[in-house]
Structure 1
Amino acid sequence: MTVSERILEIKQFLQQTPIFQDLVEEQLSALANIAIPQTYKRGETLFLEGDEGTGLFIIKSGRIKVFKVATGGKEQILHIFETNEHFAEVPALDGGHFPASAAAIEASEVMFIPGTAFLMVLQQNPLLAISMLKTFARHMRKLAHLVDTLSFTEVPERLANYLLNLSDKFGNIEVVELNLPKGQLAALLGTIPETLSRTFYKLSQDGMIEINGTTIRLCDRDRLISLGQKK
């Protein structure tokens, strides 16, 4: 692939992403010229908490987890980003350090946009600036919800809500496929794998779900909803 073909491919990808879809041709070309394609293997780290924040990332394929690690080594996943989503905007804008770490859950390809170039485009496009403010608002809501969940609910409620959300994501299906390894799912739900396994077993014994490897059948959606709403 020639350089011009590579830049055209990057520009077409950027144009399809929600954050950049309103940019004019000149601005897209400017971003495409400085965007850096990066690939990561499963488990590979993009950056660590405290590293210098030099830009933002947009996912072309795969999934990236953003997480923090406690002093004792326990991991808490803050969010999992998927295709066309972007993250690390704050350090890209304020020049500070990354407030959390990021790693690939699966083989992933991302576009890295250097912060200085992104700021220049942002200054030229008020719609993009508004889009960024909306992004910050969504992230704040998600973090507030995470704090609320970890502070005021127990693991069974968190797991019930996770399974229901997974079902809703694919059209209220009765059978869902766990899309995370147990260890990663435990980190997302703020617990440890052993506790998560016991919770799966308890929900199964109570007749709310059936477990077949990574395949989960939601046998009693109403009871799962009731459990998820319990505080």
Structure 2
Amino acid sequence: MTSADKLLAQNPVFAVLPQPKRDALLQEAIKRHYQKGETIAMVGDFWPYLFIVAEGGVSARKSSVEGRSLVVTTFEKGDIFWGLAFFYEDMTMPVSLEAIKSTRIYLWSREQMHPLLEKEGAFAWELARMMIKKMARASEILEEMAFQPVAGRLAKLLIETSSNSAMGAITRSLTLDEMAARIGSTREMVCRFLHRFADDGIIDITRTEFRITDNGRLAELARNSKG
């Protein structure tokens, strides 16, 4: 089994399809490669595609007229997403999609997938279940933005990021602007709270990384800062 075969076989939506149909989908897929920072789709685009991340990662972003950016969610290897026009042809993208590192994706158009969705009930059902999960996550994000102060959102981001890093260290390649975009704040507020966390002995800041020194207090901040 090739890496592309495994990619589809391990995804709960594609996994319900028989092997021959997964093989056919891989043959029909539109394959795209993007460098870090490249745009895949823009807010307002009519983008009738469903995609799976084969390598790298993709962020979904919203921007304000003042130029502030919010990372609504991210998609890693094996994750799938779609433009609204994949289901409703007159609906535009509510977010921009951007590669967060060197990224490969496989895309299928509305026209390519429509016959499969009509014929394969299990496939359509699993895609519907995936949509419900995405909607539930969007609701969680809105709740966090509405009721959780910046300190709590930043604490949660640090915990999540450090859990995916070697030895719990967070490299400073994750910039203040990127942190601000992920928690819906400004770089100035992020900088202020990072230094407050450092002054309180919760994190250590060096020229190259942030390191959590008091997991308990940081977790408490993330839990207790909800309104």
| Same structural fold, with TM-score higher than 0.5 when normalized by the shorter chain | yes
1:157 Cα shift? Answer: 0.7
Give yes or no for the alignment of 1:32 onto 2:32.
Answer: no
Q: Equivalent residue of 2:174, what SS?
A: coil
Given residue 175 of structure 1, which amino acid in structure 2 is its aligned partner? G
Contact 2:14 2:123 in 1 (8 A): yes
Residue 94 of structure 2: aligned partner:
99
Distance 1:112 1:165 in 2: 29
1:145 Cα shift? Answer: 1.2
Q: For residues 180 and 127 of structure 1, do their structure 2 counterparts lie closer, same or farther at Cα, with a shift above 3 Å needed? A: farther
Range moving further from structure 2, 183-192 or 205-214:
205-214
Contact 2:54 2:78 in 1 (8 A): yes
Give yes or no for the alignment of 1:217 onto 2:211.
Answer: yes
Residue 20 of structure 1: aligned partner:
14
Given residue 131 of structure 1, which amino acid in structure 2 is its aligned partner? E
Q: For residues 119 and 11 of structure 1, do their structure 2 counterparts lie closer, same or farther at Cα, with a shift above 3 Å needed? A: farther
Contact 1:208 1:223 in 2 (8 A): yes
Q: Deviations over 1:40-62 (max 9, x none)?
A: 11111001111112211111111
Q: Equivalent residue of 2:66, what SS?
A: coil
Range moving further from structure 2, 111-120 or 88-97:
88-97
Q: Equivalent residue of 1:60, what SS?
A: strand
1:191 Cα shift? Answer: 0.9
CA RMSD, Structure 1 to Structure 2 (Å): 2.1
Distance 2:49 2:11 in 1: 17
Distance 1:214 1:128 in 2: 45
Superposed, 1:186-201 pairs within 5 Å as 186-201=180-195
Give yes or no for the alignment of 1:165 onto 2:160.
Answer: yes
Range moving further from structure 2, 158-167 or 185-194:
158-167
1:82 to 66, 76, 84: 76
Distance 1:167 1:47 in 2: 29
Residue 118 of structure 2: aligned partner:
123
Contact 1:174 1:219 in 2 (8 A): no
Residue 177 of structure 1: aligned partner:
170
Distance 1:65 1:117 in 2: 25
List alignment gaps of at least 5 residues for structure 1.
Answer: 1-7
1:90 Cα shift? Answer: 3.7
1:83 Cα shift? Answer: 0.5
- Compute the TM-score of the two structures, normalised by the length of structure 1: 0.87
Contact 1:34 1:114 in 2 (8 A): no
Q: For residues 174 and 114 of structure 1, do their structure 2 counterparts lie closer, same or farther at Cα, with a shift above 3 Å needed? A: same
1:214 Cα shift? Answer: 4.7
Contact 1:56 1:88 in 2 (8 A): yes
Distance 2:198 2:167 in 1: 15
Distance 1:13 1:77 in 2: 25
- Compute the TM-score of the two structures, normalised by the length of structure 2: 0.89
Distance 2:99 2:208 in 1: 20
Contact 1:91 1:97 in 2 (8 A): yes
Contact 1:18 1:84 in 2 (8 A): no
Contact 1:88 1:98 in 2 (8 A): no
